[in-house]
Chain A
Amino acid sequence: MPKLRLLVNTQTPLVQFLRVPRDTRTPTESSSVDLTQLTEGVDYRFSPGGVTRMVYPLLRKLLADGVLEDAHWVSLNPNAPATAHLPGISLHHVAIDPERMAGYGTTKEAIWATAHGLVSKAKSEGLFWTDDATEYTFYNRTTAMRIRELDHDLDFDLFYIHDFQQLPVGQMLGTLKPKIFRWHIPFDVRSIPVDWRPVMQRYLSAYDRIVVSSDRYRRELERLGHRGDVLRIYPYIDPAEYRTRPTAADVGAVCEKFGILRAHSVGLIVARMDPTKGQDRALAALALVKNSLPNLRLVFVGNGSFSSSKGGLGLSKSDRWRARLDEEVRRAGISDRVVFTGHVTQAELDALYERSDFSILPSVNEGFGLVVVESWIHRRPALVTDRAGVAELITDGENGLLFDPDSVTGLARQIRRITADDGTLRRRLVDGGRRTARTCSLETAARQERELFESLVGG
């Protein structure tokens, strides 16, 4: 296969600018910045979140393996230079005005909440007829036009569109070149309002391949009536990034920072502050076991997403959710049992995993749940909601402990089970998890993605 020129499209940009260089926000020749000349953490930072975290390592690997000639990444980034460059990867930023952004944000949050089962189908009916939805269309049309301009100049071989925010882009591109769409969030036909289905089918059918994160979602797409090719590729992380174990000093520093004592048994919850992440379920379970497990501490890592951050889209919902969790903590009398760390550095996160005894993914619904794979790589047993995509890889008691997020007693039972263990269960879960993590490695996914590209572009 000849080297490919790939177009990637995500809503979330790869990087968020902490300081936007002067004269770079208008789309002129001089509006391009070289990220290698800027300082990470000072001028910019990499966006948190699963999509960018998966796509960037994949692009780097495919560039290193000679699969890609170069990659161009179009995303929504209103507070950024028009373009930015990394070796082999050009970032192109789309901006829409704040009024339109508000309408777009409302619509995409409604889609998100519906897909995650957070609002009833009845409440979501008619969404695509609202004025706000026209801004969702506007954003996607603007993005599609930008991609068309780039294609006019650069002649891409393949278009790889990511996530529900960008779903209409394929239909709007109107190109005969191959197009792939990756669906990252949960997909359950039962949660999709009837009047959304033809809209979704129309958009989905514009793509040559759909990639989903679990076999369950593939079956659900068939139930929706989608007749095109659907491929399952499990989300992935690069285990090589976790080879360096934190030192005792690193762990000590992070424990001191967050008040974690030697005697504590630590359950780690790594998720952004969002109702769908189910932190409230973990708090409720903690309230149930607080008397029997006085040394148990739950450590919640994470703050808002790109959408809710001030440097991002400014659609703050994380603050509201955090305030509600604080209220739950006060009401349950467990203030001394929980730690909210907010955003932590990767080094601190590694140290927290090292210090933890187990991790919990309590999400109400979860497209996949890469933090479970992260936990496995850190050799920590994972307690996992059975509504996550990753749950189909888990056999209870073999490589994880499953629970229904709507059953607080179920989660409390699994917490008791792992904390009461004499080591046998823990070893089995850790070994099983490590084996399963290989299924979700960058190496495995890159091979599958390469095969996918070959099937569309020719080997």
Chain B
Amino acid sequence: MSGLGMVTGFNLVLLDVGIIVALTALFAWIVNLILRGVMRASNPQVAVAMRRLGVTVVVAVGAVLAVQELGVSPSILLLVIGLVAVAAIVAIRVPLENAGARFFSGIYSPFKVGDTIRVAGQTGRVIEINAMTTILLSEDDRMVALPNSTFLGQPVENLSPQAWKELVVPVTLSGSTDLAAFESRMLKSLSKLRLRLDPRFPPVFTVKSRSVQGADVVLTVMVRRPEDREPVLAEVNLRVSEELDHSRQSVPKPSALSEPPSGS
């Protein structure tokens, strides 16, 4: 093959790789869009995680195809990735299990710091929930650390009065979201569910952490009747998702930490 023929062949390969990358990006965007629609009523943090997972899978498949196009055997690449993943899982199985459990129990378990709970024969007030353990303070002042995985495999009783009323929705805001405006719009939106909510406890936002990258906030709503928990949670999740979409579509504003509120 002449030198010119080799160059032309390499150019064609690059063109193919380019097309794969472009199609991967397009497909990732479509998957993200579909998951966003499908998971509108899910917890916003879970929805974000699932969208990330979907996009990651698409990108990984695209990367394998692109590598194959470049002439490298994909089986070797997949083998290496697989071995590394297995080794990582074996090495950090327990912490991974607890961190995973923390993620899901943090969203779906009906307790929070300050509540009194009974789980796995232990009773106490929750004083800390970290990535690995949940720490209880027993009535006789003992600290009891429970692996977070306990909460996915054991029945948990929340003994705090009227704990059934409380729904806690964690929300992550990007740095470009105006927290005060987001909160104001959400409160207006949630006031329309007033009939289903405890009139003594209007929804409230609590900022857990904030930086120039964004803010982790927690929205707490109190339902009026036990049977309202599930539908209200779904509705609140939906409204939060819609409001987050609205915030993304709005003109980005500088973050709360980088600019003081504007003049009148």
Which positions in A face B, CB cutoff 8 Å?
Answer: 25-27, 78-79, 82, 92, 94-98, 100, 125-126, 128-131, 133-135, 137-138, 141-142, 145-146, 148-149, 152, 171-172, 174, 194-195, 197-199, 202
State how many angstroms separate the Cβ of A453 from the closest Cβ of chain B: 26
**Chain B residue at smallest Cβ distance from A173:** B207
Against A, the Cβ 8 Å flags (1 = close, 0 = not) of B129-146 are 000000000000000000
Against A, the Cβ 8 Å flags (1 = close, 0 = not) of B175-197 are 00001110111011001001000
Q: Is the CB of A26 within 8 A of B262?
A: yes
Interface assignment of B261: CB less than 8 Å from any CB of chain A = yes
Q: Is the CB of B184 within 8 A of A79?
A: no
Interface residues of B in 189-215 (CB under 8 A from A): 191, 194, 199-202, 204, 206-208, 210
**Chain B residue at smallest Cβ distance from A126:** B199
Q: Is the CB of B200 within 8 A of A197?
A: yes
The residues of B that contact A78 with a CB separation of less than 8 Å are: 263-264
Q: A129-B194, A141-B183 are in contact. Are A149 and B263 (CB under 8 A)?
A: no
**Chain B residue at smallest Cβ distance from A199:** B202
Measured between alpha carbons, how far is A171 from B207 in the docked complex, in Å?
A: 9
- 12 sampled A-B residue pairs with Cβ under 8 A: A27-B259, A27-B260, A131-B188, A134-B187, A137-B184, A137-B187, A138-B180, A141-B184, A171-B206, A174-B210, A197-B200, A198-B200
State how many angstroms separate the Cβ of B150 from the closest Cβ of chain A: 29
The residues of B that contact A174 with a CB separation of less than 8 Å are: 206-208, 210
Identify A96's interface contact among B179, B202, B261, CB under 8 A: B261
Interface assignment of B256: CB less than 8 Å from any CB of chain A = yes
Interface assignment of B14: CB less than 8 Å from any CB of chain A = no
Q: A129-B191, A129-B194, A197-B200 are in contact. Are A145 and B179 (CB under 8 A)?
A: yes
State how many angstroms separate the Cβ of A250 from the closest Cβ of chain B: 39
Most chain A CB atoms below 10 A, which of B256, B263, B264: B263
In order of increasing CB-CB distance, the 9 nearest A-B pairs are: A141-B180, A78-B264, A25-B263, A95-B264, A138-B184, A27-B260, A134-B187, A128-B202, A134-B184
Q: Is the CB of B180 within 8 A of A149?
A: no
Measured between alpha carbons, how far is A141 from B180 in the docked complex, in Å?
A: 6
Question: In the complex, how many residue pairs between chain A and chain B have their CB atoms under 8 Å apart?
Answer: 87
Q: Is the CB of B263 within 8 A of A198?
A: no
The residues of B that contact A79 with a CB separation of less than 8 Å are: 264
**Chain A residue at smallest Cβ distance from B199:** A195
Q: Is the CB of A94 within 8 A of B184?
A: no
Interface assignment of B30: CB less than 8 Å from any CB of chain A = no
Measured between alpha carbons, how far is A134 from B192 in the docked complex, in Å?
A: 13
Interface residues of B in 236-264 (CB under 8 A from A): 256-257, 259-264
Q: Is the CB of B194 within 8 A of A152?
A: no
The residues of B that contact A92 with a CB separation of less than 8 Å are: 260
Measured between alpha carbons, how far is A100 from B183 in the docked complex, in Å?
A: 13
The residues of B that contact A138 with a CB separation of less than 8 Å are: 180-181, 183-184
Measured between alpha carbons, how far is A171 from B218 in the docked complex, in Å?
A: 13
Q: A25-B263, A95-B263 are in contact. Are A142 and B180 (CB under 8 A)?
A: yes
Q: Is the CB of B261 within 8 A of A142?
A: yes
Q: Is the CB of A95 within 8 A of B257?
A: no
Q: A172-B207, A197-B200 are in contact. Are A145 and B264 (CB under 8 A)?
A: no
The residues of A that contact B188 with a CB separation of less than 8 Å are: 131, 134
**Chain B residue at smallest Cβ distance from A92:** B260
**Chain A residue at smallest Cβ distance from B187:** A134
Q: Is the CB of A94 within 8 A of B191?
A: no
Identify B261's interface contact among A125, A145, A195, A197, CB under 8 A: A145
State how many angstroms separate the Cβ of A140 from the closest Cβ of chain B: 9
The residues of A that contact B183 with a CB separation of less than 8 Å are: 134, 137-138, 141
Q: A129-B194, A137-B187, A174-B207 are in contact. Are A145 and B180 (CB under 8 A)?
A: yes
**Chain A residue at smallest Cβ distance from B181:** A138
Measured between alpha carbons, how far is A98 from B191 in the docked complex, in Å?
A: 22
Q: Is the CB of B200 within 8 A of A149?
A: no
Measured between alpha carbons, how far is A195 from B194 in the docked complex, in Å?
A: 13
**7 extra interchain contacts, Cβ-Cβ under 8 A, other than A135-B184, A141-B184, A149-B257?**
A95-B263, A96-B264, A134-B188, A137-B187, A141-B180, A141-B183, A145-B179
State how many angstroms separate the Cβ of B73 from the closest Cβ of chain A: 53
State how many angstroms separate the Cβ of A354 from the closest Cβ of chain B: 41
State how many angstroms separate the Cβ of B12 from the closest Cβ of chain A: 55
Measured between alpha carbons, how far is A240 from B211 in the docked complex, in Å?
A: 47
**Chain B residue at smallest Cβ distance from A81:** B263
Q: Is the CB of B263 within 8 A of A82?
A: yes
Measured between alpha carbons, how far is A172 from B218 in the docked complex, in Å?
A: 12
Q: Is the CB of B264 within 8 A of A148?
A: no
The residues of A that contact B206 with a CB separation of less than 8 Å are: 171, 174
Q: Is the CB of B264 within 8 A of A131?
A: no
The residues of A that contact B202 with a CB separation of less than 8 Å are: 128-129, 133, 199
Q: Is the CB of A97 within 8 A of B264?
A: yes
Most chain B CB atoms below 10 A, which of A97, A130, A141, A194: A141
State how many angstroms separate the Cβ of B179 from the closest Cβ of chain A: 7
State how many angstroms separate the Cβ of A92 from the closest Cβ of chain B: 8
Q: Is the CB of B204 within 8 A of A202?
A: yes
State how many angstroms separate the Cβ of B250 from the closest Cβ of chain A: 15
**Chain A residue at smallest Cβ distance from B259:** A27
Q: Is the CB of A27 within 8 A of B263?
A: yes
The residues of A that contact B263 with a CB separation of less than 8 Å are: 25-27, 78, 82, 95
Q: Is the CB of A27 within 8 A of B199?
A: no
The residues of A that contact B187 with a CB separation of less than 8 Å are: 133-134, 137
Measured between alpha carbons, how far is A92 from B194 in the docked complex, in Å?
A: 37
Q: Is the CB of A94 within 8 A of B261?
A: yes
Q: A134-B184, A137-B187, A194-B200 are in contact. Are A145 and B256 (CB under 8 A)?
A: yes
State how many angstroms separate the Cβ of A272 from the closest Cβ of chain B: 24
The residues of A that contact B261 with a CB separation of less than 8 Å are: 27, 94-96, 142, 145-146
**Chain B residue at smallest Cβ distance from A172:** B207
State how many angstroms separate the Cβ of A173 from the closest Cβ of chain B: 9
Most chain B CB atoms below 10 A, which of A27, A134, A199: A134
